[in-house]
A and B are shown apart, each in its own frame.
Chain A
Amino acid sequence: MQFKYFYIVLFLLFFITNNKQNSTDSNHDIELITTKTSYVAGENISLQFKGNTNASIYLLCANSYGTIVVSPSIENSTTSFQLPQNFANKSGTINWQLINDSVLKTGTLYINPQPKIKAIETYIGPPSIEAGATDYTMLVSIPTDHLDNPLADSTEVTVKHQFLDRNFKDNIIMKNGIAYKNIYSEKEDGRIIISTACLDLNSKEYDVNVVPAIPTNFEIDYSRIHEYADGNQITTFNTSELKDRYGNTVSDGTFVNFYLTNSKGYKSSTSGLTINGIAKAKFLHPDHEENFEVKAYVEGMAESNIIAISYKKAIGDFEIHFSEDKRTITVGPIESFMNQRVPDGLNVTLKIFKNDVLDHKIIKETREGFATFKLNKDRFPKGQYNFEFYAAGTTKSFTAIAYE
């Protein structure tokens, strides 16, 4: 039984020694004198070997970015290889191979970044976030040493931020060559001021805007000079102050659309942008009696109550005068609610039918209360025509007008 253990131990020993032999296999009377395998970036790196060498011996070195061949300097029986400075500046693993005709020795070095900081690169995005404590911006920071190597993982970075009257300070740890932190908004809108610090180096100031969240439902109202449908004056719609659900006034420029539905169900719209939370939109009075229902929307986000608005009839009956040859027709005077002549520009429409088929439609604007139609002989030759006039909600017809 004891012998059994003895054999097992012997067997294991054999294995271990055997392994050792393997690892020093390519030892061609050359020994590495340099024992240091871990360096700090920028440190002078020189590998020295003892043993028989000739001139065609090289050291291949590969760092994080590429591979170079280093030539030796031989003194007595010591061969040394001086790694170029800017090659020794980059952190990461360096693997080296000592070669002449074959590979004599191989090994690796590790270059650590310097423990001192030179710069702190900071990336922040997105640059504006929504109030409400759910949205956040991310700060990513890459502190680097004097040789542009990112500092070692686990280096502590301090993130400071200020919002309204509150100051915050958090410590984060570098991982994967970076350190990052999510900075959440609060319920108020405003601006977050951010800075970072690492190993006594402070970054510059960064800011992130906290914009109000989406608006909540709101009220609308209107104001106008008078209530008459004169086709001339303008009604102004306005909203109450638009606020998000935390009571922040929405950003200037929020687009509000007002939809007006008339008594026949036809829709028109007008729109405005908010300033200090209030949007205003303009609407031209109709030229005839009309009732509207008005509702406003911030598309996809919020809507208003419905209000009703009615316009009274302003323009009554009007006269139509035919010239002797009936080819010059004067409409008017058209008079408004105080019997004043309507302002220039009211549309008067004349539809001309021949054999009960619409032959032509002419639209004229009034000037000083009158609209004049002149019907050319060539366009409307001898025959019978029916006329239909329309202005400000009133229609007047004349049948069997005969042209010579």
Chain B
Amino acid sequence: MLLEQQNPLLPLPMSNINKSILRTALMLSYVIIIGLVVYGIASIYSYLNTGADRSKMLHTEVKKVEQYLPQLQWQPLTNEGRPMDQQTLKAIETDYLDAWYVKHVAYKTNTTKGITDYYTESSRENLYNIIQLNTESNTIIDATTLSHNPKLDFFSEDGQLAVLTDYDVVEYKRIFKDNNLISEVAEISDYRVTFLLEDGFWRIRHMIKLESHPFENETVQDTLKLDIKGINYYPQATAWDMYGDNFNTDTVAKDFKIIKDANLNSIRVFIPYESFGKANVDITKLDQVKQLLDLAKAEDLKVLITLFDFYGDYSVLDWTLTQQHAKKVVTALKDHDALLGWDIKNEPNLDFESRGESLVTAWLDKMIDLVKSVDGNHPVTIGWSNVESGEILKNKLDFISFHYYNNLEDLSEAYTSLKSKIKDKPIVITEYGMSSYSGFWKPFGPSEDNQAEYHKKIQTTFAEKDIPFMSWTLYDFSRIPKEVVGRLPWRKNVQKHFGFIDKNGAKKASFKYISSKE
């Protein structure tokens, strides 16, 4: 039999190429299948080898999550029975607050989770009854307590039973029926609570509301002592992010000198809620704010501190955490000479739509109470984003402030109108300004000259109407975090050019009108 010899120099016939491709494909698929099988077996093997982590068997690392931190102040210990020690007192305090917290959660969700830990067998029935009533009537109570002043009345000799009276418990409740908010209630009450130590928990055996009345607090304190001529301040390079590693005293000192020399007497700065550590306020950053105040004092500038920047939750069970934050910040800074006052939150009315006006207003209301309870000397305001919101909570604020970015022609009238409604309190415009951006994203935007013209005009209005002001802002910024105006370049770029001083440090035409003449 004669086999046809192939000449190796000739190109391979088609069938041979196909064969090679087939062979390669077969081999590859074989390798892949084997790989998959090995991988499968390996993952089954490793799955079967996983189990409980031995280090977690004893639950030694249960972390305490801070979820409920109302203001709590024990009154001096004068209890009957056994002398109390601090450790037991702290244990009672923790379990007592947890009892309130699980109760709030239970009434908010109409479930009974967690109640068994903090109420004895017979007292938990009372909560179950109310949950049942509320479930039947489709009612939800979203509540929190903001302040407790317990006094220990009695501690038994064997350390198993304690009685306390909790005075002036400030409760705030939002009551929903059929998913509609039907009422908001703020009450101040006294409770007497009997605890039994069971299974390591201080459980509530009896709880009796001794007294209760509606809570209203309209203390107005020290009003504004300064004829404000100010500016909102961020350093040029670190706008909205000036604390932590970015904090530079040299830059701040230099900028304060510029502000002082420009015939301004005050600045407005911001304290972001989350990056300052929420309820656990970052001491380092707080120190940096103190340094900033020191530098302001050196230049004889007063500082309006805006709290809760970038905060937007407002949910009732989060309140105690925000109050804890505010308490720590205000306590740390309240005695500083350079402090002008407190701006509770920047433009909270912008959250009305997403969070509900009543909720946001209630949060602000209680926050004003807290700030005033900690600092009885400095005036409190809220930086509303528009003049229309100026009347909200006007009775509780010590001075009114709003931001104005609208048409200049309407300013005079808007201000007069608000002033006629709020006669007895100063009204300050704590933000105004114009971006000088005109470029790719906004080809027909205003020029630097337009900006200068704007500031010239607005200063005239301020002078005519005797309006205290704080402008936005000293610098053109080179970098804007996305949280401020989002990622859209036409917004970002506009926001970058509100300054009186440009990126390169040169004073823009508007700088001439940064302050009033005299």
Contacts and interface: CB of A to CB of B under 8 A. Distances in A.
Interface string B101-139: 001000100000000000000110111011101100101
A385 B165 CA distance: 89
A150 interface: yes
B206 interface: yes
Contacts of B123: 148
A99 B182 contact: yes
Interface string A122-152: 0111100000000011101010000011100
A234 B351 CA distance: 91
A interface majority secondary structure: strand
A67 B184 CA distance: 12
Interface in A76-97: 84, 86-87, 90-95, 97
Contacts of B122: 148
Nearest to A68: B133
A27 to B, nearest CB: 16
A58 B80 CA distance: 43
Interface residues of A, number: 42
A176 B153 contact: yes
Contact of B126 (A65, A103, A124): A65
Contacts of B154: 176, 178, 180
B330 interface: no
- Interface hub of B81, B173, B183 (most chain A Cβ within 10 A): B183
Nearest to A101: B182
B127 A65 contact: yes
Nearest to B171: A62
A176 B134 CA distance: 30
B208 A91 contact: yes
A121 to B, nearest CB: 8
B28 interface: no
Contacts of B153: 176
Contacts of A60: 175, 183, 185
B455 interface: no
Nearest to A148: B122
Given A84-B133, A97-B185, A142-B205, A67 B143 contact: yes
B358 to A, nearest CB: 12
A126 B158 CA distance: 5
B386 interface: no
B103 A66 contact: yes
Contacts of A123: 156, 158, 160-161, 196
B479 interface: no
B242 interface: no
B157 A63 contact: no
Contact of B161 (A71, A97, A140): A140
A201 interface: no
A180 to B, nearest CB: 7
B211 interface: yes
11 contacts: A66-B103, A86-B129, A87-B133, A92-B208, A93-B189, A106-B214, A108-B212, A123-B196, A126-B157, A138-B157, A178-B154
Interface of B: 80-82, 103, 107, 122-123, 125-127, 129-131, 133-134, 137, 139, 141, 143, 153-154, 156-161, 163, 165, 173, 175, 177, 182-183, 185, 187, 189, 191-192, 194, 196, 205-214
